[in-house]
Amino acid sequence: MNNSQIFESMGVINITPNSFSDGGKHTSSSTVLNEIQLMKKYGCKIFDFGAESTAPFNEGIDSNLEIERFKKYFLPILDSIPKDSKISIDTYKIETMRKLLESGLERYNVIFNDVSGSLDIELKELLHDYPNVIYVYSHNLCSSRAATQEHIKFKSNKYGNKFYQEVLSYFKEAETWFLENNINNQVWFDPCFGFSKDYQQNLDLIVETPNLIQEFGTNMQWLLGISKKSFLRKLINGDEEQTEQVERSEVAHSLILDRWVSQIPPDYQVVIRMHDVSLISAVKRCKEMFET
């Protein structure tokens, strides 16, 4: 394998009753901790915790309920998370992120995984207050944080190379915003597959992702997440029950990972957000087997 890169994995742990993939699975702190231990076996050191499902068919929740879920299932096991890990919080609410940081999260290696695509004064203040927090800026065309749950209503009308150029400009403008606002936090970019994009736009972006990453050089870190997205289930075009479709979508996921590993140079920093972190290990073993 001439490209020695195998992407770092971010393991998804949803503490919600209605997430499309594992809703209701983690109903206690012990099940959350067990999931962390399982992911560790596959070398995962970044754990992404979410307390609200942003799937289009689910209603949003307020910050109080979101914080309550974090307090019930996440904060009690905080000290049990391996010290060399990064803890990612999947929320678009500034008040939720601030409350968790004030509750002791500040002591850890923290990522604010924000899918809203909002560059606002609240974000600026938070990142200035907590300069050690890593911030994930996502491609999302929502009009505001409050509209994030309705992201599917906000889409571009461009496709192919025109859509790619629009996404590229989106991140270039964000890069300027962070610089002008003196935000010295480490910032990651996320194309945010599935958010404010239709089926074809997601596929267009998958093809262009290696080009997008290389446009920003080796200093920018990227977060890529297509695990169990609905457009992958449509891609396989099966009529089976959803469970089987999700399992088959992981086949498409592995093929896309293989393409990205082959096309993105090894000195670029890429994290893959996954529900099944063993998939990266499987892709790596297959490439080593057939390319030696």
Is 241's pLDDT higher than 60? Answer: no
The closest of 210, 213, 215, 202 to 159, measured between CA atoms, is: 202
The CATH number given to whatever domain includes residue 151 is 3.20.20.20
Helices vs strands, H then E, count in the chain: 9, 8
Structure tokens of 3?
């490209």
Q: Is 122 inside any structural domain?
A: yes
What are the E-state strand segments in the chain?
8-14, 46-50, 86-90, 110-114, 134-138, 187-190, 221-224, 269-274
User: Mean of the pLDDT values across residues 198-203?
Assistant: 96
Distance in angstroms (rounded) separating the CA atoms of residues 204 and 119: 25
Q: Across-strand partners of 269?
A: 221
The closest of 70, 8, 13, 77 to 45, measured between CA atoms, is: 8
pLDDT, greater one: 6 or 83:
83
Confidence of residue 57 (pLDDT cuts 50, 70, 90): low
Q: Please report the pLDDT score of residue 23 as a whole number.
A: 45
Q: Across-strand partners of 221?
A: 188, 269
Q: What pLDDT digit, counting tens, does each position of 106-141 carry?
A: 999 999 999 999 999 999 999 999 999 999 999 999
Q: Is 91 inside any structural domain?
A: yes
Q: Is 1 inside any structural domain?
A: no
Q: Please report the pLDDT score of residue 248 as a whole number.
A: 65
Q: Is 124 inside any structural domain?
A: yes
CA distances from 272 to 85, 142, 151, 192, 193 (A): 15, 23, 22, 12, 12
Domain that holds residue 30: 8-291
Number of domains composing the chain:
1
Q: Please report the pLDDT score of residue 1 as a whole number.
A: 38
Q: Please report the pLDDT score of residue 196 as a whole number.
A: 95
Q: Is the pTM of this model over 0.85?
A: yes
User: Mean of the pLDDT values across residues 204-220?
Assistant: 97
Looking at the chain, the whole-number percentage of residues with pLDDT higher than 90 is 67
Q: Is 195 inside any structural domain?
A: yes
CA distances from 111 to 48, 84, 96, 236 (A): 8, 14, 13, 33
Q: What pLDDT digit, counting tens, does each position of 76-103 carry?
A: 999 999 889 999 999 999 999 999 999 9
Q: What pLDDT digit, counting tens, does each position of 257-284 carry?
A: 989 988 999 899 999 999 999 888 777 7
The closest of 273, 249, 121, 123 to 195, measured between CA atoms, is: 273
Q: Please report the pLDDT score of residue 279 as a whole number.
A: 86
Q: Are 178 and 126 in contact (CB under 8 A)?
A: no
